[in-house]
Amino acid sequence: MIPLRLSTLGHPARLDIFRLLMRRYPDRVPAGELSDALGIKPSTLSAYLSALMQVGLITQERVSTSLRYTIDMPQVQHTFDFLLRDCCRGRAEICLPFALPFPEGATAMPERTYNVLFICTGNSARSIFAEAILRKEGAGRFKAFSAGTKPKSDLNPFALEVLRQKGHDISELRAKNVAEFQKPDAPAFDFVFTVCNQAANEECPAWHGQPISAHWGLPDPVKAEGTDAQKSLAFQQTYGALRNRITAFTALPLASLDRIALQKAVDDIGRTHAGESA
């Protein structure tokens, strides 16, 4: 099965689908969204998805009239394990640089101040919420940043009002392009979280230092319709969902978790609160 999986991933378009689903894990992504994000015709996409399912790399679930897809993580881990362990035949000088829990070789993150980046598309609401919440909830232990792949020029006024009501200091908040944090003098991040699906669907360069990454997607409150009160409620709900996730994140015993356990923990936070973004 391993050779078949590698052969399947040898096709550029199938590899693109696999990479996008890896970035979105643990989300189950609708076929239509995959088609739009990758520019693949639905009929062609269906054939590619079928090939990935046949070799056990992804799974399919029907939700109402929609087919949704996600990575079959145990099978993917088995594939990586074969490549990094069986193929290496115990040659530590080849395998260990890739298999160590952290680049430094430590079994867990040392106790220190951790840099965390939240990414969205516009960097006007969701990622700004996350930055402000972590600054307040994780003061002294975390340094929070946010950025957008296509940032707005101004922060959303409804988002700013929610933050004022919750007692956050908004004086230093601004919309920023993700490129600002990819410069040589940018902070080295320990964690990078995407909080909107569109940003997670986009290709981004690999982050220096191999930070732990996860997708905590939430619907965009900026798209809420109705009265101002109804729009404000959408922003309040988004704020609450992010606060729940960040509270769970800050409670993790980071200094005692190895990379595998920590990755599972941050993925579980996104999965546990998935109902909030339905």
Residue range 53-80: average pLDDT? 92
pLDDT at position 134 is 97
In single-letter form, the type of residue at position 88 comes to C
Considering only residues 110 and 14, tell me which one the structure prediction assigns the higher pLDDT.
14
pLDDT at position 91 is 61
pLDDT at position 92 is 54
Given 3-state DSSP classes, what are the helix, strand and coil percentages for the chain, each rounded to the nearest 5?
50, 15, 35
pLDDT at position 75 is 93
pLDDT at position 103 is 45
Mean pLDDT across the chain: 87
Q: Is the pLDDT of residue 34 over 80?
A: yes
Residue range 267-278: average pLDDT? 65
Residue range 229-243: average pLDDT? 95
pLDDT band at 9 (very low <50, low <70, confident <90, very high): very high
Cα(45)–Cα(43) distance, integer angstroms:
5
Query: What stretch of H or E contains 191?
Result: strand 191-194
Residue 138: what are its φ and ψ, rounded to 5°? Answer: -115, 25
pLDDT at position 197 is 84
Cα(113)–Cα(116) distance, integer angstroms:
10
CATH topology of domain 2-73: Arc Repressor Mutant, subunit A (1.10.10)
pLDDT at position 108 is 56
pLDDT band at 99 (very low <50, low <70, confident <90, very high): very low
- The arrangement of strands across the sheet holding 191-194 comes to 142-148, 114-120, 191-194, 212-215
- Domain locations along the chain: 2-73, 114-277
pLDDT at position 257 is 86
Q: Among 82-96, 140-154, 236-250, which stretch is predicted with the lowest mean pLDDT?
A: 82-96
Q: Is the pLDDT of residue 275 over 60?
A: no
pLDDT at position 1 is 87
CATH topology of domain 114-277: Rossmann fold (3.40.50)
pLDDT at position 208 is 75
Cα(245)–Cα(160) distance, integer angstroms:
20
